[in-house]
Structure 1
Amino acid sequence: MTVKIGLIGLGMIGQDHLKRFRDVISGAEVTAVCDINHSTADAVASEYNAVAFYDAEEMIHSELVDAVFICSIGPVHKTQILAAFKAGKPVFCEKPLTPTAGESKEIIDAEVEAGKRLLQLGFMRRFDPGYQALKQSISTGELGDIMLIHCAHRNPSVPESYTLEMAINDSATHEIDIIRYLLNENITSVRVDKPRKKTSRALPHLQDPLIVIFETESGVRIDDELFVNCHYGYDIRCEVIGENAIAALTEQQLISTRSFNGNAQHIAQSCMERFATAYDREVQHFVNSVRDDLPMAGPSSWDGYVVALVCDAGLASLKDGEKHEVVIPEQPALYR
């Protein structure tokens, strides 16, 4: 069986996934593409031998589509996901699940009512070899009791459309999810600190960098540096401090060079470059689940909902600088 994919949203990440389906992924083909920009949809459809749609729900219900791949902007995710659920079609959705926890809860309710998982969420770091190795180090107990985690999320730059709230809702979401993945426990509180100094490269409406402090159920304390105009590259860091040992992500560079100027290592310039392997793995995982009629696995709607709850607390702290508790309802049996 070849899974027929309908892909919504033809921006940067959507087009990156289109290349992935064409060049890397087995068992699936993109048969339909959808974007509100008609000329973009037409051009991409012609390039990839797909059918162009301008209305997402029309594409979702088309017989050309077995599974829906959502790469549109966050505010339209809920409507598109619920339409796919109603059509009985499995969904891959890029993060965030929705911009707010209230919207995410509607998706949880619809999926629970359906009686089975229908969605895999695009938290690709769970498929990254480095993070998987970190999780293994924690799980084996070789690090001892985990006390601290230091994270950094650095982008070379962000566009003018990037808002201060996006530092939480767009950038920190990956750290929020990966903390839960690594430790297998929830975050219970969030505080956002604004350093007095900010980079001269930040636009006037941004405070950059920010420091976010998380605490988990067992008392692990995590600091997350969000520096989205660091200039030099896309640099993701994670160091886990255990009582017996410390484990950290490596640079994961493709090559290193030695010359008269000294040692040099390549630094990724985008998430698509740094996490190319993780993106490949998560998409193949989704396709395999659909093709082989396996229960949907990987990051779930519940994971997206919990991250949204943490983000809501983070946004509150962004306003007042105080620590905010995260209250997480009982997890439905569907996601256990």
Structure 2
Amino acid sequence: MSDLRIGLVGTGGIGRTHIERVNTKLQGGKVVACADPAGAFGLSVAEKFGIKGYEDPIDMINDSKIDAIMCTTADPFHKKYVLASIKAGKYVFCEKPLAAKADECKEIVEAEIAAGKQMVQVGFMRRYDEGYKQLKAAVQSGKYGEALLLHCAHRNPAVPDDWDNSMAVENSMVHEIDVLRWLLGEDYATAQVVYGKSTNNGPKDLHDPQIMILTTKSGVRIDVESFVNNHKDYDIKCEIVCDGAVLNMPEPNYISVSAGAQKGRKQYTDCFQRFADAYDAEIQSWINATKEGRVDGPNAWDGYACQVAAAAASKARETQTVQPVVYDEKPELYK
């Protein structure tokens, strides 16, 4: 196949970033068209990038000149456009979350089952980060014994004023929910969210930081600090305590500088800096797999499993209780 002809729906910040990424850095695919639920805005972005614009995203999805779809809209629109892509017989990359609620994710799973094949990849880019890949390889090797505890942090300089308590889990810690499930190779059994003393830096209705506590089915205990208004830097940490070792995420790959009687290294300021290589690897992998007619990244079931755990964590936060994480039985298509 020549270049994969990609139509992108959702022309906000990350959508525009993906257009630039695919069309200037990656191989084997081109974003040849775009659309947005706000039709006129999508047309203006198409003009900016010199690609075809569609006022209605469904028209783009159904166009025979489009081979595959990238969905980068706001969360509430994901289900609509992913289901439309499956109906049109087209592979689709959907930024996280797969859908706003677990039952909506299940609808997408059922649509794939009806189609008879996996067609959806979910944008959990951390699985493509070299640090997480090294941690997973170390755990899988068995060299250091079993994983017992994980201590993680997800720190961000600031978030918009409309952030509320639910977003700490559903927009921030969902990345940990997915990547740690993938890293350990097992599902969760329980979820809990507890509060510490709150900073005064963020939105007035946001309790920040929060700590999410997950327990896997084998009993591994995970704590994740979400501090999204630290007014400092973008800092991702993952420490795995094993029987025979402690494994840590690599530090930022910036040089160390000694100057002015101080020594240190530059830090990341946002996810696009920290995970730039992971984003590239993720989308390149999706292009390659789509051209071969397969899905080899986070799939629709992974998207469903993440939302089930996120919903349990959100309920745990609201009720200040420990909540069970209960999944439906995994269909044969995803085994």
| TM-score (norm: length of structure 2) | 0.97
Alignment of 1:255-274 (within 5 A): 255-274=255-274
- 2:163 is matched with 162
- 2:46 is matched with 45
- 1:213 is matched with 213
- 2:3 is matched with 2
The alignment covers a number of residue pairs equal to 334
Which amino acid in structure 2 is aligned with residue 131 of structure 1?
Y
Alignment of 1:238-249 (within 5 A): 238-249=238-249
Q: Distance in 2 between matches of 1:162 and 1:91?
A: 28
Give CA-to-partner distance per residue, 1:212-232, whole Å, 9 cap, x none: 000001100000000000111
Q: Is the 8 A contact 1:253 1:267 kept in 2?
A: no
Alignment of 1:216-231 (within 5 A): 216-231=216-231
Q: Distance in 2 between matches of 1:106 and 1:38?
A: 26
Q: Is the 8 A contact 1:32 1:64 kept in 2?
A: no
- 2:118 is matched with 117
Q: Does 1:180 align with 2:172?
A: no
- Please give the root-mean-square deviation of Cα atoms over the aligned residues, in Å: 1.2
Q: 1:209 to 1:109 in 2, by over 3 A?
A: same
Q: Does 1:148 align with 2:136?
A: no
Q: Which moved further from structure 2: 46-55 or 95-104? A: 46-55
Return the offset for 1:243: 1.0
Q: Distance in 1 between matches of 2:44 and 2:65?
A: 19
Q: Does 1:295 align with 2:294?
A: yes
- 1:232 is matched with 232
Return the offset for 1:35: 1.7
Return the offset for 1:38: 4.4
Which amino acid in structure 2 is aligned with residue 253 of structure 1?
N
Q: Does 1:326 align with 2:325?
A: yes
Q: Is the 8 A contact 1:99 1:169 kept in 2?
A: no
Q: Does 1:312 align with 2:281?
A: no
Q: Distance in 1 between matches of 2:18 and 2:210?
A: 30
Runs of 4+ in 1 over 3 A off after TM superposition: 36-40
Which amino acid in structure 1 is aligned with residue 322 of structure 2?
K
Return the offset for 1:254: 2.9
Q: Is the 8 A contact 2:43 2:55 kept in 1?
A: no
Q: 1:163 to 1:48 in 2, by over 3 A?
A: same
Q: Distance in 1 between matches of 2:18 and 2:133?
A: 22
Q: Distance in 2 between matches of 1:254 and 1:16?
A: 23
Alignment of 1:1-20 (within 5 A): 1-20=2-21
The secondary structure found in structure 2 opposite 1:176 is helix
- Flag structure 1 segments of 5+ consecutive residues without an equivalent: none
Q: Which moved further from structure 2: 82-91 or 142-151? A: 142-151
Give CA-to-partner distance per residue, 1:114-141, whole Å, 9 cap, x none: 1100011100000000000000000001
- 1:58 is matched with 59
Give CA-to-partner distance per residue, 1:159-193, whole Å, 9 cap, x none: 01222111111111110011111110001100000
Which amino acid in structure 1 is aligned with residue 225 of structure 2?
E
Q: Distance in 2 between matches of 1:38 and 1:120?
A: 25
- Flag structure 2 segments of 5+ consecutive residues without an equivalent: none
Q: Distance in 2 between matches of 1:233 and 1:54?
A: 38
Q: Is the 8 A contact 1:142 1:245 kept in 2?
A: no
- 1:35 is matched with 36
Q: Which moved further from structure 2: 206-215 or 35-44? A: 35-44
| TM-score (norm: length of structure 1) | 0.97
The secondary structure found in structure 2 opposite 1:40 is helix
Which amino acid in structure 2 is aligned with residue 204 of structure 1?
K
Q: Does 1:86 align with 2:94?
A: no
The secondary structure found in structure 2 opposite 1:160 is coil
- The percent identity for this pair of structures is 40
Q: Does 1:253 align with 2:253?
A: yes
The secondary structure found in structure 2 opposite 1:165 is helix
Q: Distance in 2 between matches of 1:266 and 1:39?
A: 40
Q: Distance in 1 between matches of 2:144 and 2:194?
A: 29
Return the offset for 1:234: 1.0
